[in-house]
Amino acid sequence: MKEFILNFPQQFKEGLKLAENIDIRGKYSNIVVSGMGGSALPTELINTCYNLNLTTNRNYKLPDIKTKTLCIFCSYSGNTEECLYAYKEAIKRNIDSICITSGGCIFNYCKNFI
| pLDDT for the residue numbered 74 | 92
Q: Is residue 70 part of a domain?
A: yes
HSE-CB at 24 with a 13 A cutoff on CA atoms is 15
pTM metric for this prediction: 0.83
Residue 97 sits in a domain whose CATH number is 3.40.50.10490
Q: Is residue 12 part of a domain?
A: no
Q: Is residue 23 part of a domain?
A: no
What is the tally of structural domains in the chain? Answer: 1
Q: How far apart are CA 33 and CA 72, in angstroms?
A: 5
pLDDT digits (tens, 9 = 90+) for 59-111: 999 999 888 999 999 998 999 999 999 999 999 999 999 998 989 999 998 88
Q: Is residue 68 part of a domain?
A: yes
Q: Is residue 58 part of a domain?
A: yes
Domain of residue 73 covers 28-111
- Alpha helix positions (H), 22-92: 41-50, 81-92
Q: Is residue 1 part of a domain?
A: no
Q: Is residue 75 part of a domain?
A: yes
| pLDDT for the residue numbered 114 | 65
| pLDDT for the residue numbered 60 | 96
pLDDT digits (tens, 9 = 90+) for 11-62: 778 877 888 888 888 889 899 999 998 888 888 888 888 878 789 999 999 9
Q: Is residue 16 part of a domain?
A: no
